[in-house]
Amino acid sequence: MDSMHGESCTLNEGDNVAAKNNPEHGSGKRIDVDVESGHKRKLTSSVWDHFERKMMKGKMRAICSGCKKDFVGDSKSGTTHLRDHLRRCFKVKNQVDVRQSILRATVKTDSSSVSMGKYKFNSDVTRHELWNMIVLHGYPLCIVDQIGFRRYSNSLNPDFKVISRNTLKSDIMRGYKEEKEKLKKLISSQEGRVAITSDMWTSKHQKKGYMAVTAHFIDNDWTLQSRLIR
């Protein structure tokens, strides 16, 4: 406590027992208490939603919740420099703010329903959607090595590191095996019969013949399903 003499500190919920006797304890309000005078004031600025105030080497510092960089955090310095940092910090931009959450519309491929939810960046989900896009549209694997695609991906989210074509190939094969196992379990869990149809065609560019085998069945919810199995 002696090292914090003359400085101010923030009492968060559960920091000490004395805070429990505070009538504003648990109300969700940010309270700034001056240790020397005992006066308290509310931290009304929205920047404190993304910074944590800590005493470091006898000085109050503001720690960014995104990149973890520290800045001057005493009351006399204001919050202008903190706001300027928030505009540049990509880590903070990717975080989900409870009060200002980014809503994402998700369209189900097997229906016309649309669901809304909060968005939070997940690199695994992005990689899954990347190889899924390659398979769906028949794009070449070398697209991930092209500078234009890498610049485009970086503009969407700098935190996502574009994978190489070899890694993309491995993701596709792993995804194929996972989907194959899911399809086996789905068909084996059905109580009805499965109808098999085939479709044949010839590629004009390669002059090769192809045949697709599709399974049709009515699931346990009495919904007609069709799955490409070969």
HEC profile of 183-224: HHHHHHCCCCCCEEEEEEEECCCCCCEEEEEEEEEECCCCCE
Q: Is the pLDDT of residue 19 over 50?
A: no
- Cβ–Cβ under 8 Å, residues 32 and 74: no
Q: How confident is the model at residue 145 (pLDDT cuts 50, 70, 90)?
A: very high
The token pair that represents 230 in the structure block:
């070969």
> Average model confidence (pLDDT) for the chain?
75
Q: Is the pLDDT of residue 136 over 50?
A: yes
pLDDT given for residue 90 in this prediction: 65
Which residue is associated with the tokens 């009351």?
75
Q: Which of 53, 93, 87 is nearest to 72 (CA)?
A: 53
The token pair that represents 52 in the structure block:
């944590």
Q: Which of 229, 131, 206, 136 is nearest to 175 (CA)?
A: 131
pLDDT given for residue 25 in this prediction: 42
The residue ranking higher by pLDDT, 60 or 109, is 60
CA-CA distance, 208 to 94, in Å (whole number)? 47
pLDDT given for residue 64 in this prediction: 87
The token pair that represents 45 in the structure block:
């600025």
For 110-133, what is each residue's pLDDT tens digit?
Answer: 555 555 556 677 888 899 999 999
Q: Is the pLDDT of residue 155 over 60?
A: yes
CB atoms within 10 A of CB 84: 11
Q: How confident is the model at residue 181 (pLDDT cuts 50, 70, 90)?
A: very high
CB atoms within 10 A of CB 59: 14
Return phi, psi of residue 118, to 5°.
Answer: -75, 150
